[in-house]
Amino acid sequence: SPAAELPPPYTAIASPGASSVPVINCRVCQSLINLDGKLHQHVVKCTVCNEATPIKNPPSGKKYVRCQCNCLLICKDTSRKIGCPRPNCRRIITLGPVMLIPEEQPAQPALPVQPDGTRVVCGHCGNTFLWMELRFNTLAKCPHCKKISSVGSALPRRRCCAYITIGMICIFIGVGLTVGTQEFARRFHATYVSWAVAYLLGLICLIRACYWGAIKVSYPEHSFA
């Protein structure tokens, strides 16, 4: 058998514009082959050059061999010689210990590789950045304007309501202490400290409620509901 000219090298890659469809390169012409609905097959045919590329291991006792003419053959794994069936080729391929034509290994389909995370539109500057957390309702720092915002509106809404509730409770407690312990406070001036603590806690909680109520909200891209 004459010396073989091997098919071009190949690599499995992901189509940049694809979203979730697995693709591979054709082992002959390097064109992308869409594997959607074909993953159950052993081999797939390229729509550009019409040559086959394996994507699964061959059946038990078989192996893949590619001829010099790029025809993909399936033969017994014990075969030493096989003939190419193409009328314009008819080569006899010798498969000795050192094969002139190497065995063809299945290509591995690859899903498009995208970084984990969600694209978020900053509530301050309107620029889009990649948020790497697995959950929303948390704080994020925009890499463009360096400002903090909440990813999703649920977190600031919950925090605002919680601080308003706690702040009002503290103020009511302070009012109750002021009304109920006036006579006691005239004799024990330390009672005024309890009034101050209750009012101070209430004021701090209300200030925090204002902060959470006014914080900017950043939303995931294309999800403004």
Residues marked active site are found at 75
Eight-state DSSP code of residue 132 = -
Distance from C-alpha of 138 to C-alpha of 148, rounded to nearest angstrom: 10
Scanning the structure block, which residue is given the tokens 């074909």?
Answer: 38
Contacts of residue 185, Cβ cutoff 8 Å, sequence gap at least 6: 191, 192, 195
Q: Which residues pair with 140 in a beta bridge?
A: 149
Structure tokens at 135: 């959950």
Distance from C-alpha of 14 to C-alpha of 174, rounded to nearest angstrom: 65
